């Protein structure tokens, strides 16, 4: 978890590689559907372009179909999901069905102004349609309102690893692994 632009996607790939599990990014799946012009992509695009969340029902169905694929049988890392309380509850139900359990929730903490600057830079490089300044700020707001509160929910379950997300990519990765191994050794 972490606000848009905290570096979740980059770190997700490192963690997933380390544990030989797939990194499942809802944002990536939506973007792939958008570029293929599927009905899901057409629906998701209008929310994404505005910086709003795609409705829970659509997102939940997509994740539930993805985690039953064979590569996820021995575990998976979710990047960008869950983002709402309804998604937390839905995920609990899904993994009960598949027989998985939630081992850890990694939260990348970053300063929000620093993030906005990072995202503006990325928008220039990648030309993402959802990366105009207004949309970037809206995405931060939506995160603060709808997703940030989930950290408390997972803290109450003792699952949260809060990691400083600022600095070099490698340093952040090291912090994540250090934090994750602290729990597994205790």
Distance CA 146, CA 183 (A): 28
Contact residue for ligand AMP among 53, 90, 172, 180 (CB under 6 A): 53
Is 48 or 176 the residue whose CB approaches ligand AMP more closely? 48
Contact residue for ligand AMP among 16, 83, 140, 154 (CB under 6 A): 83
**Tally of CB atoms within 10 A around 55:** 14
Listed in sequence order, the residues at least 6 apart from 22 whose beta carbon sits closer than 8 Å to its beta carbon are: 16, 71, 72, 76, 77
Burial (CB count within 10 angstroms: exposed 0-12, middle 13-18, buried 19+), residue 52: middle
Contact residue for ligand AMP among 1, 6, 15, 54 (CB under 6 A): 54
27 touches ligand AMP (CB under 6 A): yes
Of 16-24, 45-53, 99-107, 110-118: span binding ligand AMP (CB under 6 A) = 45-53
**Tally of CB atoms within 10 A around 14:** 18
Is 120 or 174 the residue whose CB approaches ligand AMP more closely? 120
Contact residue for ligand AMP among 6, 11, 15, 26 (CB under 6 A): 26
The 8-class DSSP code of residue 74 comes to T
User: At its nearest, how many Å lie between ligand AMP and the CB of residue 41?
Assistant: 11
The DSSP bridge partners found for residue 162 are 107
Active site residues: 8, 83, 122, 128, 139
């Amino acid at each position: 978890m972490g606000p848009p632009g905290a570096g979740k996607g980059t770190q997700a790939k490192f963690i997933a590689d380390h544990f030989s599990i797939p990194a499942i990014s809802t944002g990536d799946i939506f973007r792939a559907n958008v570029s293929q012009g599927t009905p899901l992509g057409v629906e998701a695009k209008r929310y994404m372009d505005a910086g709003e969340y795609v409705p829970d029902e659509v997102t939940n169905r997509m994740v539930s179909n993805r985690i039953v694929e064979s590569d996820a049988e021995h575990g998976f890392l979710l990047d960008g999901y869950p983002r709402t309380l309804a998604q937390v509850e839905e995920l609990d139900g899904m993994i009960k069905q598949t027989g998985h359990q939630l081992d850890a929730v990694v939260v990348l903490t970053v300063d929000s102004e620093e993030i906005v600057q990072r995202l503006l830079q990325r928008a220039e490089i990648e030309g993402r349609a959802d990366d105009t300044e207004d949309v970037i700020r809206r995405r931060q707001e939506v995160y603060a309102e709808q997703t940030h509160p989930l950290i408390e929910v997972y803290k109450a379950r003792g699952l949260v690893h809060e990691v400083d997300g600022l600095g070099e990519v490698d340093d952040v990765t090291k912090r994540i692994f250090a934090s994750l191994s602290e729990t597994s050794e205790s």
